Amino acid sequence: MQNKAKMNLRKQQLQKINHFLQCKNANTLLKQLYQQLFTDPDYLRAETIGITLSMDGEVPTQKVIDFALSNGKKVVVPRTLPHRQMEFVLFDDSTQLAITKFGTREPIGGSVVSKSAIDILVVPGLAFSRNHYRVGFGGGYYDRFLTDFHGLSISIATPPQFFDEPVWPIESFDIKIDKIIH
């Protein structure tokens, strides 16, 4: 059963985020958010970073990936598997990518890195609350992945993605994000 309130919120958020990303101040603000991440002690300590390959309408991740690689960190990106599972694959210049039905880019082949080797996971989402809840695209991929993830989860929220209080129902399987940069 899909949650109707969450479905409506997702639709609204997609529009708001798209609108924000097109406004002329967006790049300046994004730079500030990236800087917060790059100066975060947990980021500085991390050897391996899990992050998505963003698509249009999402917080762009390429600058984070490039910076992390230039700092000598390992970057791993998700590949979706049956039963809404994901695995993370080492990403570099030679990684081959395919576009999925959902419109995301995923690696083809490459070395799978175990969950326990990921120090920080940058988790995408449409909405985040000050008390660390998150709404994603509705696949449940990250909620499943995070159940036995013991590294640190971090999300980057632009203004339209950040809420003082969750304006959506919290469900039993929702997993809080450790740190929200906003």
Ligand X SMILES: Nc1nc2c(c(=O)[nH]1)N(C=O)[C@@H](CNc1ccc(C(=O)N[C@@H](CCC(=O)O)C(=O)O)cc1)CN2
Binding site for ligand ATP (CB under 6 A): 6, 135-144, 147, 173-174
Query: Please, what is the minimum distance in Å from the beta carbon of residue 35 to ligand ATP?
Result: 25
Q: From ligand X, ligand ATP, none, which one binds at residue 52 (CB under 5 to 8 Å depending on kind)?
A: ligand X
Nearest Cα to Cα of residue 87 among 110, 108, 66, 114: 114
Query: Please, what is the minimum distance in Å from the beta carbon of residue 18 to ligand X?
Result: 14
10 is in an annotated binding site: yes
CA atoms within 13 A on the CB side of 37: 28
Residue ranges in contact with ligand X by CB under 6 A: 52-55, 58, 78, 80, 86, 101-102, 104, 124, 136-137, 139, 141-142
134 is in an annotated binding site: yes
Q: Closer to ligand X by CB, 45 or 111: give it.
A: 111
Neighbours of 167 (CB within 10 A): 12
Q: From ligand X, ligand ATP, none, which one binds at residue 119 (CB under 5 to 8 Å depending on kind)?
A: none
Query: Please, what is the minimum distance in Å from the beta carbon of residue 30 to ligand ATP?
Result: 20
138 is in an annotated binding site: yes
- Tokens 């695209």, residue located: 137
Could you tell me whether strands 105-108 and 152-156 are parallel, antiparallel, or unpaired per DSSP bridges? Answer: unpaired
Q: Which residue is nearest to ligand ATP (CB)?
A: 136
Cβ neighbors of 47 (< 8 A, separation 6 or more) are 73, 74, 119
CA distances to 31, 43, 95, 129 from 64, in Å: 10, 11, 17, 23
Q: From ligand X, ligand ATP, none, which one binds at residue 147 (CB under 5 to 8 Å depending on kind)?
A: ligand ATP
Query: Please, what is the minimum distance in Å from the beta carbon of residue 54 to ligand ATP?
Result: 13
**How far apart are alpha carbons 30 and 63 in whole angstroms?**
10
